[in-house]
Structure 1
Amino acid sequence: MCLGLPMTIVETDGRLAVCEYGGQQRCVSVMLLSEPPVGSKVLVSIDTAVRLLDDDEARLIAQALDALHAILNGEDYDRLFADLIDHEPQLPNHLREPVRLR
């Protein structure tokens, strides 16, 4: 299984970028993207930026990764999923059954 990290572009030449996540920097390819600017959030998998992220999506992915770390270390993780507590899960629109008219 591969995990993607939500990283922020610190500097780039259009082909490679220095990206940061959790205080660590990595050099990654940005050739799959259309020249993302410095400050952009990108999803990085195997040292390749595979898509742009908006700030909210990057935050949610980072929280999920923090929760995995907390679980593996026997720490509390509920605070990282505050938006899900006391909510019934909802299917995305494309997975819901279509309404059939009679």
Structure 2
Amino acid sequence: MCVGIPMKILSREELAATASDGTHTHLIDLALTGPLEPGTWVLTFLGTAREVLSEVEAIKIKNALDGLRALIEGRDLGDAFADLETREPQLPPHLQAAHDKGETTA
């Protein structure tokens, strides 16, 4: 299982960047995203930036990972999943369209 880690780019040279997850600084590969400016948030897997994130998305992912870490350590989740607690479950668009038409199979 791979877990994506949100990181903020601190500096860059060509397709390599120094980025921080808020605790540690890492050298990451930008070959899949192309050159990115300092301050850009990315989702990283195994030292490679895979996707550009908005700051809001990055913080939500970071909070969720912090919550899971707290749970593993036997601590309280706090508000790690606050963005999900007030939201109703949502169907993927194709299933919602089928549901809206009254279809019972997708």
Smaller-chain TM-score range?
0.7 to 0.9
Letter in 2 for 1:93: P
Separation in structure 1 between the aligned mates of residue 89 and residue 20 of structure 2, nearest angstrom: 32
Letter in 1 for 2:77: Y
List per-residue Cα deviations over 1:4-47 (Å, max 9, x = no partner).
Answer: 10000001012100010132001010011131111100001010
Separation in structure 2 between the aligned mates of residue 25 and residue 81 of structure 1, nearest angstrom: 25
Residues 1:13 and 2:41 aligned together? no
State the aligned residue count: 101
- Show the counterpart of 2:96: 96
- Show the counterpart of 1:58: 58
Extract unaligned runs of 5+ from structure 2. none
Separation in structure 2 between the aligned mates of residue 41 and residue 74 of structure 1, nearest angstrom: 29
Instruction: Report the 3-state secondary structure (helix = DSSP H, G, I; strand = E; otherwise coil) of the residue aligned with 2:31.
Output: coil
Residues 1:26 and 2:26 aligned together? yes
Once superposed, which parts of structure 1, at least 4 consecutive aligned residues long, lie more than 6 Å away? Answer: none
Separation in structure 1 between the aligned mates of residue 74 and residue 46 of structure 2, nearest angstrom: 28
Compute the TM-score of the two structures, normalised by the length of structure 2: 0.84
Mapped contact 2:15–2:34 kept (Cα < 8 A): no
Residues 1:39 and 2:39 aligned together? yes
Letter in 2 for 1:52: V
Query: How much has 1:64 moved relative to structure 2?
Result: 0.8
Query: How much has 1:68 moved relative to structure 2?
Result: 0.7
Query: How much has 1:54 moved relative to structure 2?
Result: 0.5
Instruction: Report the 3-state secondary structure (helix = DSSP H, G, I; strand = E; otherwise coil) of the residue aligned with 1:90.
Output: coil
